[in-house]
Chains A and B, each alone.
Chain A
Amino acid sequence: MNDMDLEIFGAFVEEGLEMIDDVEPQLVELETTQDDAGNVDLEMVNSIFRLFHSMKGSAGFLELDQIVALTHRAENLLDIFRKEEALLEGPDISLLLQTIDLLRKVMDDLADSGRDDTFADEVTTQVEALQVSIEAKAEGGAAAEATATETIATEASAEAPADDQAIEFPTITITPEMSERFMEEAEELLDSAEQNLLQVLSDENEDVDLSEALRALHSFKGNSGFMGFQHLEDLTHHIETVLEKVVDGAIAADEDSMAVFLTVVDMTRKAVGDIGAGGNGDIPELAGLKASLELLVAQDAPAKEAPAAVEDTAPRKGFIPLGGMKNKKAAAKPAAKTEDVAAAAKPVAKPAAKPQAQPAAAAKATDPRKADMARKSETVKSKPSGSIRVDLTKLDTLMNLVGELVIAETMVTRNPDLDGQEFENLEKASHHLRRITTDLQDVAMSVRMVPLSGTFKKMVRLVHDTALKAGKKVELKLHGEETEVDKTVIEKISDPLVHIVRNAIDHGLEKPDVRLENGKPESGVVTIEARHESGEVWIIVSDDGAGMPRDVILAKAISKGLVEGDGADMRDEDVFKLVFEPGFSTAATVTEISGRGVGMDVVKKNIEKINGKVDIKSTLGKGSSFIMRIPLTMAIIEGMLVRVGRSTYNIPMLSIREAFRPVASQITLTPDNTEVVKLRDELIPVVRMHQLYNVPSDCQDLVDGIVVIVENDGTTAALFADEILGQQQTVVKGLSTYVGQPHGVSGCTILGDGSISLILDVATILANTATSPMATV
């Protein structure tokens, strides 16, 4: 297994997993949208069918037999529902979901090991299960629809869909993302096909291998079929057939044939551009182009001793022989179309409309380079949208370099050698430089932003499974999936979101009968919403369930010793937050889904890791909301720089309430030797930073320095430092794993002068110093 293969597999797996992620929610939705008669949304079945089909195609190309076996069976099963030969039922969905799970597992492993047979046993079992189901359905189906058309043969349906009028397909719902991905890929595939074709023209040696172009066009055909662009699929199918003959040597790879191919590629590209502009990808010149392709076969075939069948079928139907199956379909095409094509197949075919198509299509293209140039200008115009996949480590490197650049810029423009001197031009130039670096930093940051839609989509499946296990009916609503957050944040919020959603279903929502008793609709609603709110991203999970019982939580907390006294004066929010304590659970029994009291602890820990917060709102009988408040990015922090002796520290602005120089009257020393400052009606314990970090400081007396009031989770403390240096946005760097996670430090950052400043971890400092909020005076 060489690296090249692994790379190809990697790309396959990445794409495959994306497809699975797309289709999984649809599968779940299928079940929920099923009407009483068991009818399902055919479009949805079709799009799921296409997923398996595309995957099968790619897997087949890569000779991944296990995946082919799985997807083939799944495809067959779906085909039955697609044709409405049998009703889709719950068990079928579960079966398909299992198949998806297994596919995911196999692909994950494939990416690591380059083998797809690690789970061969499981695959075999699953394939058998699918086969059993297919047979059961097929029998039922055959009885029900004995009149089914001759197109039923599974093989025929396994052929790319939607290229033929004989099989009517409902229009596909194509999401913008799908369309975008299609365009990107189309651009790449056409480029590579074109380059390969051009080699023939530029390269004098005649042995150019065109299989690359063939592969690219084949993939493109698959994609077009998947997206339902009939013309594109039809055309590429033709060019593929002809190209195959060129590769086999049946047709000469000369300027003439290349010119035709390139014209076709051009037209295809134009159609793709058209789709990008909102069109339907139809090619007006389709018939003409197909004709010129056929002409190539007709001209070359006799000379090159093409198989007899080619000559035989081609003229009669006006079609290039397409292999048995395709022939069947071709025959089924409306007569009008066949005639149309046949008419256009005359040697003097004038595809018209396209000026540069004419010389190319006419058998003797005079100057291939001219055509080439025309094509280039065409390319520029039709370029839809450009995006590429980038390795995350490269982005990280970019971020780091930009961070360094910002520092280097400061080092140059504020160089001590320049002190006390005035250079007007230098001033201007450095101003300009600063503006560029700032822009660059913004751009580099934005590159890492990813929409939450992927994470949200995963929840669909989770809700489905959890609801099933808990025996509840749940309707999931998603809002604001397009909200973008930093890639690292996405990774960190996935787990907490899972726990919160599971809890909402298991604890939040009531059983259907209870809901009905309480005058609520039978199925509960879980809403997941994301939105920007004051420099943070809020991810809100709400349910319309029973709400959180304050007294039960409080009683439990008191019995666990988490709350002293009766807790009567605690705010509701604080009471609810008790559920984040490790091991805290009000569930009477531990169920399969939740109840151990671990989940909420995970939520809190993970969210804190990304400097976020979780708030809970709940009304008894009405439902609860969990609000995860997450900073936009972890990579940059807005902080206040303070100096203690020779060291500088960075206090995250998010936790700062205010900062001031205390006066003597504000300071009290309690009998247990704790210093407190009185701020309005509050007594706040003082944390001397020089003691905390064991560094020398300039100020010993509180009145000489400054206190920064920090707050987290309702706890406050006054951090004592020598002076405030300023406020700035800095790029966060992690501490080396070698030093681990020192107490009270969450990371570090490099300042403008190249020195390092530690970023304070306010949460742990508060947790370890102040115990609980001081009582009001």
Chain B
Amino acid sequence: MTTLTKDQEDLDHELVDADFDDAHKDLYMTFRIGGQDFGVEILDVNEIVGLHTITEVPDVPDYVKGMINLRGTVIPVIDVRTRFGMEPREYDPRTCVVVVTVEGATVGLVVDRVNEVGSFPEGTISAPPSGGERKLGSEYISGMGKHEEHVTILLDTNKLLFEKQEKNA
């Protein structure tokens, strides 16, 4: 796993400079929620910003926390915790917004903290657990990325954003 510096600005820089070709196909931006690591495809990620003041918006699902002003562009943010039906948690200085663009919609994902950019080549990803009980937003999982003994849950950004919530947590 390639580990880049966690310093946010440098990370941003790396992301912008990176040549987004197929070589980045296996790269995932990983972040932590609760005790679990999650990853989203790096190609979906625009940037990572600190948490801004969130303006609440009426009439939206509970996981849509509101909107933030991203350098003059107003984007909605969703709380991944709430999306997964996890207990909400106070935002702290390490709380980050991962800005992703999927199907033309730019949305911020509020996560506990951002880890790193990790590489998960095909062989290291196993299918998401099927059958049994479905919990913790299992419908958004695209696969389980393994690195040594550590497991990162890889998310389907599209489903994370657009899939209707099947059960109300």
Contacts and interface: CB of A to CB of B under 8 A. Distances in A.
B105 A736 contact: yes
Interface stretch (B60-68, B87-95, B120-128, B133-141): B60-68
Given A400-B72, A407-B72, A756-B74, A739 B55 contact: no
B150 interface: no
Interface residues of A, number: 28
B161 interface: yes
B76 A695 contact: no
A756 B58 contact: no
Nearest to B107: A738
Contact of B60 (A733, A739, A754): A739
A649 B60 CA distance: 17
B69 interface: yes
Contacts, number: 70
Contact of A748 (B74, B104, B105, B106): B74
A479 interface: no
A715 interface: no
B106 A693 contact: no
Given A693-B56, A693-B58, A758-B55, A739 B72 contact: no
Contacts of A401: 72
B59 A736 contact: no
A742 B58 contact: yes
Contacts of B164: none
Contacts of A694: 58
Contact of B67 (A403, A744, A748): A748
A383 to B, nearest CB: 36
B55 A647 contact: yes
B3 interface: no
A735 B57 CA distance: 10
Interface in A714-762: 733, 735-740, 742-745, 748, 750, 754-758
A631 to B, nearest CB: 21
Interface in B63-112: 64, 67-69, 71-76, 104-107
B59 A738 contact: no
B57 A750 contact: no
A394 to B, nearest CB: 16
A743 B59 CA distance: 6
Contact of A736 (B67, B71, B72): B67
B36 interface: no
A704 interface: no
A215 to B, nearest CB: 39
A753 to B, nearest CB: 9
Contacts of B106: 736
B53 interface: yes
A694 B62 CA distance: 12
A758 B56 CA distance: 9
B105 A742 contact: no
A647 B66 CA distance: 12
Nearest to B66: A756
Interface string A101-126: 00000000000000000000000000
A664 interface: no
Contacts of A343: none
A401 to B, nearest CB: 8
A129 interface: no
Contact of A756 (B69, B71, B107, B161): B69
Interface in A692-721: 692-695
Nearest to B59: A742
A404 interface: yes
A738 B68 contact: no
B107 to A, nearest CB: 5
Contacts of A740: 60
B60 to A, nearest CB: 5
A754 B76 contact: no
Contact of B55 (A737, A738, A757): A757
A756 B72 CA distance: 10
Contact of A735 (B69, B72, B74, B107): B74
Interface string A289-312: 000000000000000000000000
A600 B68 CA distance: 38
A736 B107 CA distance: 9
Contacts of B55: 647, 748, 755-758
Nearest to B71: A404
A743 B60 CA distance: 9
A693 B57 CA distance: 8
Contact of A755 (B59, B69, B107): B69
B43 to A, nearest CB: 19
B109 to A, nearest CB: 12
Given A743-B58, A744-B58, A738 B72 contact: no
A425 to B, nearest CB: 29
B69 A750 contact: yes
A695 B75 CA distance: 20
Nearest to A692: B58
Contacts of A693: 56, 58
Contacts of B53: 755-756
Contact of B105 (A695, A737, A750, A756): A737
Contacts of A745: 57-59
Given A745-B58, A758-B55, A758-B57, A739 B68 contact: no
Given A750-B74, A756-B74, A739 B64 contact: yes
A738 B57 contact: no
Contacts of A647: 55-56
A647 B67 CA distance: 12
Contacts of A755: 53, 55, 69
B57 A739 contact: yes
A736 B77 CA distance: 10
A8 B104 CA distance: 28
Contacts of B74: 733, 735-736, 748, 750, 756
B140 to A, nearest CB: 16
Contacts of A754: 69
Nearest to A757: B55
Interface in B146-165: 161
Contacts of A743: 58-59
Nearest to A750: B69
B50 to A, nearest CB: 13
A349 B103 CA distance: 69
A762 to B, nearest CB: 15
A400 to B, nearest CB: 6
A748 B67 CA distance: 10
Contacts of B161: 738
A760 to B, nearest CB: 11
Interface string B30-69: 0000000000000000000000010111111000100111
Interface string A646-686: 01000000000000000000000000000000000000000
Contacts of B71: 404
Nearest to A405: B72
Nearest to A748: B74
B80 to A, nearest CB: 15
Nearest to B104: A737
Contacts of B64: 738-739
Nearest to A408: B72
Contact of B68 (A404, A735, A756): A756
A395 to B, nearest CB: 16
Nearest to A754: B69
Nearest to A753: B53
B128 to A, nearest CB: 25
16 contacts: A692-B58, A695-B56, A733-B74, A735-B57, A736-B75, A736-B106, A737-B104, A738-B64, A739-B64, A739-B67, A742-B59, A744-B58, A745-B59, A748-B74, A754-B69, A756-B53
Given A735-B74, A750-B72, 6 more contacts: A647-B55, A735-B57, A742-B60, A744-B59, A750-B74, A756-B55
Interface of B: 53, 55-60, 64, 67-69, 71-76, 104-107, 161
* Top 10 closest pairs, chain A to chain B, by CB: A742-B59, A404-B72, A756-B55, A743-B59, A738-B105, A693-B58, A736-B76, A739-B76, A738-B76, A733-B74
